[in-house]
Amino acid sequence: MADSFGPMRDDVAGAADDGVPGMGPDESSPRKEPIRVLVVDDHALFRRGLEIVLAAEEDIQVVGEAGDGAEAVDKAADLLPDIILMDVRMPKRGGIEACTSIKEVAPSAKIIMLTISDEEADLYDAIKAGATGYLLKEISTDEVATAIRAVADGQSQISPSMASKLLTEFKSMIQRTDERRLVPAPRLTDRELEVLKLVATGMNNRDIAKELFISENTVKNHVRNILEKLQLHSRMEAVVYAMREKILEIR
């Protein structure tokens, strides 16, 4: 089933530069129970391919599957899996949006995004929503099992190309922050501060609109104004900057 995930690769990395240590049966400590996995993807053939591949692993057990984020939340609450392999973009409810709800109903579950999306925004949003891993579907089938074991043992897993983007963005954020350190922080309105605080909790525009009793378009306008005032490029960067400059304190 290697072709199901694109070209073979041998360089899936951890969140830092330490790589993925060998986690085969001879190198890892034996487990009393298999790692229970929930597979979430809107393509039935892809889900079936993962199930067949993982069925060959003695220490991994696929306990269920779901075709979208909404179903994933229900299955996670019912099955309480150890690991959830989840696509980013799916109908009804996407994987990133489902992450927060899954963390509420199955807090012990660790989520690995397994996707074709190499968009930086998806990576940042997934991490902010609580995902422990972000892997592109170009990885080999063997690497999926390795990543599952690594995350189950407390590691974070990010595909090398995405890890590089993450590090590059963090470096840019630090550099831009240093350049502005002597410049007085722009003043945000009380409403903009309210929106920024809710953004920092991981809420999307629709939920923020409901919380503040305003329209979703108004929320979008506030977020755009915040980014323009702070001269930043993403919601994540706005939150980090606001906390560093003590514009916003989150308890």
Residues 6 or more apart in contact with residue 110 via CB below 8 angstroms? 82, 83, 84, 132, 133, 151, 152
Using pLDDT thresholds of 50, 70 and 90, give the confidence band for residue 140. confident
CA dist 215 and 218 (Å) reads 5
Min mean pLDDT across 2-6, 94-98, 143-147, 196-200 is at 2-6
- Does pLDDT of 115 surpass 60? yes
Report the range of poorest mean pLDDT among 51-65, 143-157, 207-221. Answer: 143-157
Predicted pLDDT of residue 200 = 77
Contacts of 165-173 spanning 24+ positions with Cβ under 8 A? 165/118, 165/120, 165/123, 166/120, 166/123, 166/124, 169/120, 169/124, 169/237, 173/237, 173/240, 173/241
Which among 29-33, 47-51, 228-232 has the top mean pLDDT? 47-51
Q: Between 182 and 79, where is the model more confident? A: 79
Distance CA 248, CA 251 (A): 10
Residue 168: partners with Cβ closer than 8 Å, 6 or more residues away? none
Q: Please, which pLDDT band fits residue 173 given cuts at 50, 70 and 90?
A: low
Q: What is the distance between the alpha carbons of residues 36 and 157, in angstroms, rounded to a whole number?
A: 18
**pLDDT for the residue 85:** 95
Which domains can be identified in the chain, with CATH numbers? Answer: 2-164 (3.40.50.2300), 184-244 (1.10.10.10)
The pLDDT confidence band at residue 43, using thresholds 50, 70 and 90, is: very high
Pick the range with the lowest mean pLDDT from 9-13, 47-51, 120-124, 244-248: 9-13
Residue, of 29 and 43, whose pLDDT is higher: 43
Of 231 and 70, the one with more pLDDT: 70
Who contacts 210 (Cβ-Cβ below 8 Å, separation ≥6)?
none
Q: Which residues does residue 113 pair with via DSSP β-bridges, in sequence order?
A: 86, 134
- Quick one: the chain helix, strand, coil %, rounded to 5? 50, 10, 40
* pLDDT value of residue 37: 97
pLDDT at 2 over 50: no
Q: Tell which wins on pLDDT, 102 or 197.
A: 102
Summarize the confidence of residues 57-86 as an average pLDDT: 95
Side chain identity at residue 169, one-letter code: E
What is the C-alpha separation between 26 and 130, in angstroms, rounded? 31
Query: What rounded mean pLDDT belongs to the chain?
Result: 79
Q: What's the confidence (pLDDT) of residue 67?
A: 93
Q: Within 13 Å of residue 158, how many CA atoms lie on the same side as its CB?
A: 22
- Report which secondary-structure segment, H or E, holds 24: none
Q: What pLDDT does 102 receive?
A: 94
The pLDDT > 70 percentage for the chain reads 75
Instruction: Quote the pLDDT of residue 172.
Output: 62
Reported confidence tier of residue 25, pLDDT bands at 50, 70, 90: very low
What pLDDT does residue 235 have?
Answer: 77
Q: Which residue has the higher pLDDT, 214 or 172?
A: 214
Dist CA 249 CA 45 (whole Å): 46
